[in-house]
């Protein structure tokens, strides 16, 4: 074989090795944690474990990672991230207390928080003082920042439960009068429990508009770079229509403002 043939053979072998390596290379595995009982965004029983679970997984795939999901109680999920036993957790509301320990992505979704009440409730609500003497329910691990106007002034009593399902059960039995939660989450949970998303009406005006985020511990190695890369891929998915298509696949609007009261 002449020199030209040897060169050609060498090039073929090199190209073959590159193709084999490319075919067998795998994305780096990362562990993310989220909670249950937070439809339509995060729940093991939902298709793809919820629309935001599917979105976060897709973003990490575009970053070059294979995301594995673990479902935990919300407080334990935060602890796993703080202990670096998991890379990140979602979907969480951003508040001052969490900002001391976590970095936040740009919003995955913005939900409108409202008070769910019984259909026979006679509550005239325009300002926090109108709720004086009532009881509300908040699951353990949920942010209470948006409720400070009624909690700081001792206008209402807050009951805590392990999950949102129990809150709505207490509302049904009349043990409490208010379930403050994002409209999307509340309607999905009520539809699952009672067969009708409008079984419990909501009070107007809304409490707040809450972004739902991915959180990474501030002291996680490379946390700031990871958040930047995540945000860039999320923006790219919004720009090219991938995010909208994903939400459409899950039969959920991109904005909670499109939903009924």
Side-chain-side CA neighbours of 207 within 13 Å: the count stands at 23
Is position 19 within any domain?
no
pTM: 0.86
Domain that includes residue 162, residue range: 111-209
pLDDT reported for residue 253? 86
Two tokens, residue 154: 């001792």
Q: What's the whole-number mean pLDDT along residues 73-101?
A: 97
User: Angle 51-63/242-249 helices, nearest 10 degrees?
Assistant: 150
Is position 14 within any domain?
no
- What b/e string do you get for 28-60 counting C-beta neighbours within 10 Å, with b at 16 or more? eeeebbbbbbbbbbbbeebeebbbbbbbbbbbb
Is position 15 within any domain?
no
Q: Which residue has the higher pLDDT, 233 or 259?
A: 233
pLDDT greater than 60 at residue 22: no
Is position 13 within any domain?
no
Cβ–Cβ under 8 Å, residues 49 and 37: no
Provide the CATH number for the domain around residue 204. Answer: 3.40.190.10
Q: Which residue has the tokens 């595995």?
A: 29
pLDDT greater than 90 at residue 259: no
Rg, the chain, Cα only: 23
Note whether 122 and 57 are same-domain residues: no
pLDDT reported for residue 27? 76
pLDDT greater than 50 at residue 194: yes
pLDDT greater than 80 at residue 97: yes
Is position 218 within any domain?
yes
Two tokens, residue 148: 């400070």
pLDDT reported for residue 170? 98
Question: Per-residue DSSP letters for 109-161?
Answer: EEEEEEEE--TT-----SSGGGGTT-EEEEETTS--GGGHHHHTTT-SEEEEE
CA proximity to 200, closest of 174, 171, 157, 162:
171
Rounded CA-CA distance 114/93 in Å is: 15
Is position 3 within any domain?
no
Note whether 141 and 195 are same-domain residues: yes
Note whether 120 and 188 are same-domain residues: yes
Distance from the Cα of residue 90 to its chain's centroid: 4
Cβ–Cβ under 8 Å, residues 221 and 99: no
Q: Which residue has the higher pLDDT, 258 or 55?
A: 55
Mean of the per-residue pLDDT values of the chain: 90
Peptide bond into 150 cis (omega under 30): no
CA of 25: how far to CAs of 18, 21, 22, 30, in Å? Answer: 10, 6, 5, 16
Tens-digit pLDDT profile for residues 31-72: 999 999 999 999 999 999 999 999 999 999 999 999 999 999
Is position 5 within any domain?
no
Instruction: State how many domains the chain has.
Output: 2
Return the number of other C-beta atoms located less than 10 Å from residue 151's C-beta.
Answer: 17
Task: Specify the long-range contacts of residues 219-223, CB closer than 8 Å, at least 24 apart.
Answer: 220/81, 220/84, 220/87, 223/103
Note whether 214 and 106 are same-domain residues: yes
pLDDT greater than 70 at residue 21: no
Cβ–Cβ under 8 Å, residues 71 and 15: no
pLDDT greater than 90 at residue 255: no
Q: Which residue has the higher pLDDT, 2 or 223?
A: 223
């Amino acid at each position: 074989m002449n020199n030209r043939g040897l060169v050609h053979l060498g090039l073929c072998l090199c190209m073959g090795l590159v193709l084999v390596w490319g075919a067998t290379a795998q994305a780096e595995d990362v562990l993310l944690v989220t909670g249950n009982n937070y439809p339509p965004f995060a729940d093991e029983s939902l298709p793809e474990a919820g629309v935001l679970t599917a979105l976060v997984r897709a973003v990490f795939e575009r970053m070059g990672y294979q995301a594995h999901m673990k479902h935990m109680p919300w407080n334990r999920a935060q602890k796993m991230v703080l202990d670096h036993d998991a890379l990140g957790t979602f979907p969480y509301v951003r508040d001052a207390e969490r900002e001391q320990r976590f970095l936040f992505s740009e919003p995955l979704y913005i939900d409108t928080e409202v008070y769910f009440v019984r259909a026979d409730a006679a509550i005239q609500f325009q300002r926090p003082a109108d709720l004086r003497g009532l009881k509300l329910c908040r699951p353990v691990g949920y942010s209470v920042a948006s409720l400070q106007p009624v909690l700081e002034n001792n206008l209402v009593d807050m009951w805590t439960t392990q999950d949102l399902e129990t809150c709505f059960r207490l509302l049904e039995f009349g043990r409490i009068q208010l379930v403050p939660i994002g409209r999307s989450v509340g309607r999905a949970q009520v539809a699952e429990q009672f067969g009708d998303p409008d079984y419990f009406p909501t009070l107007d005006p809304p409490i707040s508009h809450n972004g739902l985020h991915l959180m990474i511990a501030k002291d996680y190695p490379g946390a700031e770079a990871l958040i930047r890369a995540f945000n860039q891929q999320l923006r790219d998915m919004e720009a090219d229509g991938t995010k909208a298509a994903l939400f459409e696949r899950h039969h959920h609007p991109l904005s909670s403002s499109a939903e009924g009261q």
